[in-house]
Amino acid sequence: MTDQTTSDDASVASSPATYCGFVALIGAPNAGKSTLLNALVGAKVAIVTHKVQTTRSRITGIAMEGDTQLVFIDTPGIFQPRRRLDRAMVSAAWRGAEDAETVVLIVDARKGLTDDVSRIIDGLRAGGGKAILALNKIDTVKRDMLLALSQELFETGVFSDVFMISALTGDGVADLKAHLAEMAPAGPFMYPEDQVADITMRMLAAEVTREKVYLRLHDELPYAITVETEKWEERKDGSVRIEQVIHVQRDSQKGMVIGKGGAMLKTLGSMAREELEAMLECRVHLFLHVRVTERWAEDRGRYSDMGLDYVD
Ligand SMILES: Nc1nc2c(ncn2[C@@H]2O[C@H](COP(=O)(O)OP(=O)(O)OP(=O)(O)O)[C@@H](O)[C@H]2O)c(=O)[nH]1
């Protein structure tokens, strides 16, 4: 495709058209937003665990589809806020939705039209725009139930299109991606083509370690921890030295993260290091410290570190 411009402006006339669209993935906690983001981008950019509300920051994934660049905003789950941290997450999620040209609401087909989903639909209706519905986890439900649910949701009037997908198996994801590319307006790419995530490597590295802590200690430490990368040093031999702090709220939690004779911390460290080495394609020296930072969830400074606003 060529731009229709005056014929004497050869450089513009001959430059290939590019398209760039911003897409917000929204949904109730655990609907599968991070899994879908990873499937769309084809690289691990958002952590996925089976715990709800693990996404704390707005992480942007970038995908290419032909001459179109799709910039994804993975928002924290939109749900009924209770604690202050919850409220900050909800407002970040809506802010993400407002920044985007296209909103995809991901609904867990197994759970259907829950109160959380109704609330989000009300929010979309109030916003006035149309969203795309992605009915996710179709690998877990029967077809007739799926059709009834998609009908019920479509009748709310807030959706322009419905896609049935499984973010986990990849079923339907390519169709959804192709559709998102078609919706993207003409414009220059916002990021270099090979860039998959515009979050800093420090944050991504912290997310990797946090994921490991959640995976190993989810029963004991529901939401009590956060991870910060304090130092990042690239060495002459091509390796990277990373120092991170795992913040916990109480001494008893510190003990759990460290484990008997330091065994747990050692396991967490080697799990995180392996993944970081694969991601960075170099040797990683990872040093983990555990620190009791009481009431970190109320700490204003940490909110901005996570890309969140402090909401009173
Ligand atoms: N069976 C099945 N499970 C899925 C699918 N998509 C996601 N899951 C699982 O659902 C759980 C939640 O997925 P996430 O991607 O972390 O969900 P999220 O919406 O980002 O969650 P929050 O960060 O809490 O907002 C994980 O255990 C996923 O493996 C799917 O298509 N099929």
pLDDT tens readout for residues 32-52: 988 898 888 876 555 554 444
pLDDT of the residue at 262: 95
Confidence of residue 266 (pLDDT cuts 50, 70, 90): very high
Confidence of residue 95 (pLDDT cuts 50, 70, 90): low
Q: In the chain, count H helices and then E strands.
A: 10, 9
What stretch(es) of the chain map to CATH 3.40.50.300? 10-183
Cα radius of gyration rounded to whole Å, the chain: 21
Residue nearest to atom 16 of ligand 1 (CA): 48
DSSP conformation class of 199: S
* pLDDT mean over 68-83: 62
Confidence of residue 69 (pLDDT cuts 50, 70, 90): confident
CB atoms within 10 A of CB 154: 14
Return the structure tokens found at 252.
Answer: 């008893």
- Which of 41-55, 60-74, 187-201 is least confident? 41-55
Cα 194 to Cα 140: distance, rounded to the nearest angstrom: 34
| Residue 81 among known ligand-binding residues | no
pLDDT of the residue at 43: 60
192-217 burial, b if ≥16 CB within 10 A, otherwise e?
Answer: eeeebbebeeebbbbbbbbbbbbebb
Cα 167 to Cα 171: distance, rounded to the nearest angstrom: 7
| Residue 136 among known ligand-binding residues | yes
| Residue 148 among known ligand-binding residues | no
Q: Measuring CA to CA, which residue among 136, 117, 107 is closest to residue 79?
A: 117
Highest mean pLDDT among 57-71, 146-160, 280-294: 146-160
Confidence of residue 96 (pLDDT cuts 50, 70, 90): low
pLDDT of the residue at 174: 96
Atom of ligand 1 lying closest to residue 165 CA: 31
For residue 126, count CB atoms less than 10 angstroms from its CB and return exposed for 0-12, middle for 13-18, buried for 19 or more: exposed
31 Cβ inside 6 Å of ligand 1: yes
Residue nearest to atom 14 of ligand 1 (CA): 32
Confidence of residue 180 (pLDDT cuts 50, 70, 90): very high
Could you tell me if 62 and 75 are in contact, meaning their C-beta atoms sit under 8 angstroms apart?
no
Give 226's strand partners: 247
Fold type of domain 201-305: GMP Synthetase; Chain A, domain 3 (3.30.300)
Confidence of residue 53 (pLDDT cuts 50, 70, 90): very low
Give 133's strand partners: 105, 162
Q: What is the average pLDDT score of the chain?
A: 77
pLDDT of the residue at 10: 38
More confident residue, 60 or 287: 287
**pLDDT tens digit sequence for 103-148:** 899 999 999 999 989 988 887 787 677 889 999 999 999 999 999 9
28 Cβ inside 6 Å of ligand 1: no
pTM equals 0.63
Q: Ligand 1 centroid to 14 CA: how many Å? A: 44
pLDDT beyond 60 at 150: yes
129 Cβ inside 6 Å of ligand 1: no
Cα 284 to Cα 292: distance, rounded to the nearest angstrom: 25
* pLDDT mean over 241-253: 90
Fold type of domain 10-183: Rossmann fold (3.40.50)
Highest mean pLDDT among 45-49, 51-55, 97-101, 289-293: 289-293
156 Cβ inside 6 Å of ligand 1: no
77 Cβ inside 6 Å of ligand 1: yes
Residue nearest to atom 8 of ligand 1 (CA): 32
Residue nearest to atom 11 of ligand 1 (CA): 50
38 Cβ inside 6 Å of ligand 1: no
**Cα–Cα distances in angstroms (integers) from residue 154 to residues 36, 132, 163, 218, in the given order:** 21, 10, 11, 36
pLDDT of the residue at 188: 79
More confident residue, 171 or 192: 171
- Reported ipTM: the value is 0.98
Residue 53 region, left (φ>0) first, then alpha (ψ -120 to 50), else beta?
left
65-93 burial, b if ≥16 CB within 10 A, otherwise e?
Answer: beebbbbbbbbbbbbeeeeebbbbbbbbb
| Residue 129 among known ligand-binding residues | no
Residue nearest to atom 26 of ligand 1 (CA): 50
pLDDT of the residue at 214: 87
Which positions ≥6 away from 6 have C-beta within 8 Å?
A: 13
Confidence of residue 293 (pLDDT cuts 50, 70, 90): confident
